[in-house]
Structure 1
Amino acid sequence: MKVRIDWTYKSPKNKVVEFLSEELEAREALMVAQDLERTGRTKRLQFADRHNSTWSQKELNNYVKEVETEPHEIVVYFDGGFDLQTKRAGLGCAIYFKQNGKEYRLRKNAAVDEIESNNEAEYAALSMAVQEIELLGAHHLPVRFIGDSRTLVNQMSGEWAVPEQSLARWADRIDQCLEKIGIYPEYEFVPRKANAEADRLATQALNGTVIESLIDLNAED
């Protein structure tokens, strides 16, 4: 999680000046805050996340310690492929995260029926990825969702409306699940080439190859 340091400085002549830092990773922000307190000129010090929630140093310290043992710094690549003739979709997602000082990658794909369009396949792939995050036990943290569907990214980020009822239902289900587990989504569009891993998983699902794996990336070194 990234936060800003909200610091109120008090000079020897009791002049009060307020400072708001740029966004920093929570652990880095705590280190900077410790240095600020050593000046002996701190009147007030707290942290603010991008959702306008405020944190005391104790609260943020507890959060950082708790997060270390749970999945965090989660980045999700997702993609959906669609076969117009069979009305069948292939879904793929690759989820990168850290836990207990290690880095992991989870890969999952699936083939599903009764999909009407490529856009709906993209939503189904995102929904599958969100379900996998819930199964990991991740909660109350930001997650980056990266896909190559500009339509989905702009719709889920609220920049575009969702006029199609079928897609709106998918969007509502995804939002409800994210809210339930306290995930703050950050949607990012990338070109297809930059989403090759998820694209390959979706294609493999359409071709009948089922993949579900979790590996420790540090063990590969």
Structure 2
Amino acid sequence: MERLTIYTDGGSRGNPGPAAFGFVIKDAGGKLVRQYGEAIGVATNNEAEYRAVAAALKKAKQMFGSEKLKQMGVEMRMDSQLAVEQLSGRYKIENEKLQPLFIQIWNLRVELGGNVVFTHIPREKNTEADRMVNEALDQKEQDQLF
């Protein structure tokens, strides 16, 4: 089965602190389809991780449509084991700020027929999404200087 692979990352400089998220979407052959990074103001690392997943799923849905994604399936790869366990339903989400983001992600997952899996990967396998985060944070810092 053809499966879309999405690498996501979120980070903050300080926790909480200036934060950003990034994602990289690749097709079944590993070809880059889309990459994106965005500064989101002051947030925690976990909030940025969740924002990355929500934004990436929305973008994939916009690009491919719900029906095609239901057939393809989506694998979300991320280096935050906590986020993977929470989004997979194995760990409880105690942070109240994450709960609305979790619901948003869960609803997107339902729209895609539940055919979304979350996979933990080592940080060194997530360098492209991490680069999107750092570029967004660096750009935000540059914008504030001028």
Same fold (TM over 0.5): yes
> Percent identity of the aligned residues?
27
Structure 1 position 75 matched with structure 2 position 5:
yes
Within the candidate set 7, 16, 19, 1:89 is matched to 19
Q: What secondary structure sits across from 1:108 in the alignment?
A: strand
Task: Flag structure 1 segments of 5+ consecutive residues without an equivalent.
Answer: 2-71, 210-221
Structure with the largest fraction of strand = 1
TM-score normalised by length of structure 2: 0.83
Name the residue aligned to 1:43. Answer: none
The answer to whether the Cα contact below 8 Å between 1:90 and 1:204 also exists between their aligned partners in 2 is no
Number of positions where the alignment pairs a residue of Structure 1 with one of Structure 2: 136
Q: Rg: which structure is higher? A: 1
Within the candidate set 82, 85, 89, 1:151 is matched to 82
Structure with the largest fraction of helix = 2
The answer to whether the Cα contact below 8 Å between 2:9 and 2:52 also exists between their aligned partners in 1 is yes
The answer to whether the Cα contact below 8 Å between 1:82 and 1:118 also exists between their aligned partners in 2 is yes
Distance 2:83 2:60 in 1: 19
Task: Flag structure 2 segments of 5+ consecutive residues without an equivalent.
Answer: 141-146
Name the residue aligned to 1:137. Answer: 64
More RCO (CA 8 Å, sep 6+)? 2
User: Once the 2 structures are TM-superposed, how far is the Cα of residue 97 of structure 1 from its aligned partner?
Assistant: 1.5
Specify whether residues 143 and 81 from structure 1 end up closer, same or farther in structure 2 by C-alpha distance, changes over 3 A only. Answer: same
Specify whether residues 85 and 123 from structure 1 end up closer, same or farther in structure 2 by C-alpha distance, changes over 3 A only. Answer: closer
Distance 1:134 1:194 in 2: 24
Specify whether residues 85 and 162 from structure 1 end up closer, same or farther in structure 2 by C-alpha distance, changes over 3 A only. Answer: closer
Over the aligned positions, Cα root-mean-square deviation in angstroms equals 2.2
The superposition leaves residues 158-216 of structure 1 with CA deviations (integer Å, 9 ceiling, x where unpaired) of 1111111111211111111222243511110011111011001111010117xxxxxxx
The superposition leaves residues 66-103 of structure 1 with CA deviations (integer Å, 9 ceiling, x where unpaired) of xxxxxx520000000112288321111000125xx9x4
Structure 1 position 120 matched with structure 2 position 47:
yes
Structure 1 position 194 matched with structure 2 position 125:
yes
TM-score normalised by length of structure 1: 0.56
Specify whether residues 138 and 121 from structure 1 end up closer, same or farther in structure 2 by C-alpha distance, changes over 3 A only. Answer: same
Name the residue aligned to 1:42. Answer: none
